């Protein structure tokens, strides 16, 4: 089955009668193909597609988008269907109108993220983790529930990345030992029981796009999440890691959050997780950055 046929099948699955009139590629997808489609009735949708073996990734992404959308805090594309047909996997979503990325929109993103992290999910989460495992890029992110944030990070975050790096021969023995020393002192670096917050999980600047919401307000929309329940500052750590977010966004966020305990060491721990993931995905070019964080944390 061709991609157009798989898209038509997805439309049928959700009861959309229109047919595809135009299809235009969108930039930004590094794993999947991403297209904007316009139906013959003028409806605009977004389609992610790949080979059928990527169906699980689309299901994970849809699960994250749905739980974020239900909070009513951050703006995300609404998933409509995830289908696999004829060797093709498709994630069908509502399109988000492009915006101008105004200073007010970035400030609102800071407030929206704070509202997301302060939200009290119903039912309450069973500690830290998520309903499904998901992926950062192509790296598995295990989300088995745990009631201790230190142990969760030791096992499911830093420990998981360290094991992958050892298996793939990405780190020298001394470098791996440095990461292990950080893991051993996590109890001194991060809190054991921060407020359980729903986090986006992969919030670099490419996953934050200027948009306009349904009321015509300038917003920043968040895409490509890898959600879990954790420490809300983990999202801020990723945002600060590679830049691209204006200072006013962080100021707006921090003004709404009371928990600033051991903030810089928390940020560094959560950044180390993402840098180790880049080591595993892209190789030795990220080792120096990882070791810089390790040396800083071991010295604290």
Beta bridge partners of 129: 229
Residues with Cβ within 8 Å of 169's Cβ and at least 6 positions away in sequence, in order, are none
Closest CA to 141 of 120, 161, 121: 161
Residues with Cβ within 8 Å of 11's Cβ and at least 6 positions away in sequence, in order, are 17, 18, 19, 20, 39, 81, 92
Q: Which of 35, 202, 224, 231 is catalytic?
A: 202
Whether the bond between 123 and the residue before it is cis, its omega within 30 degrees of 0, is yes
**Nearest 10 degrees: Cα torsion 48, 280, 166, 236:** -100
Read off φ and ψ for residue 80, nearest 5 degrees: -105, -40
In the annotation, is 112 catalytic?
no
Q: Which positions are catalytic?
A: 202
């Amino acid at each position: 089955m061709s991609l157009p046929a798989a898209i038509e099948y997805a439309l049928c699955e959700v009861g959309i009668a229109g047919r595809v009139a135009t299809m235009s590629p969108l930039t930004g997808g590094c794993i999947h193909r991403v297209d904007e489609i316009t139906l013959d009735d003028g409806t605009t949708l977004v389609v992610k597609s790949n080979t059928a073996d990527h169906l699980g990734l689309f299901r994970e992404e849809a699960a994250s988008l749905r739980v974020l959308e239900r909070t009513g805090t951050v703006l995300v594309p609404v998933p409509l269907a995830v289908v696999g047909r004829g060797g093709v996997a498709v994630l069908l979503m509502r399109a988000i109108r492009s915006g101008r990325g105004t200073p007010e929109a970035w400030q609102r993103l800071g407030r929206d993220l704070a509202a997301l992290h302060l939200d009290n999910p119903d039912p309450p989460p069973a500690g830290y983790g998520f309903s499904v495992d998901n992926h950062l890029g192509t790296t598995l992110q295990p989300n088995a529930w745990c009631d201790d944030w230190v142990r969760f990070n030791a096992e499911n975050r830093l420990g998981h990345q360290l094991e992958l790096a050892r298996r793939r021969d990405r780190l020298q023995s001394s470098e791996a030992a440095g990461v292990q020393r950080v893991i051993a002192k996590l109890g001194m670096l991060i809190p054991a029981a921060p407020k359980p917050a729903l986090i986006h999980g992969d919030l670099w600047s490419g996953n934050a796009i200027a948009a306009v919401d349904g009321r015509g307000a300038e917003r920043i929309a968040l895409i490509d999440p890898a959600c879990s329940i954790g420490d809300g500052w983990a999202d801020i750590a990723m945002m600060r890691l590679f830049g691209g977010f204006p200072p006013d966004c962080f100021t707006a966020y921090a003004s709404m959050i009371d928990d600033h305990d051991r903030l810089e060491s928390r940020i560094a721990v959560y950044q180390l997780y993402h840098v180790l993931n880049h080591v595993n995905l892209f190789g030795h070019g990220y080792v120096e950055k990882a070791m810089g964080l390790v040396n800083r944390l071991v010295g604290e």
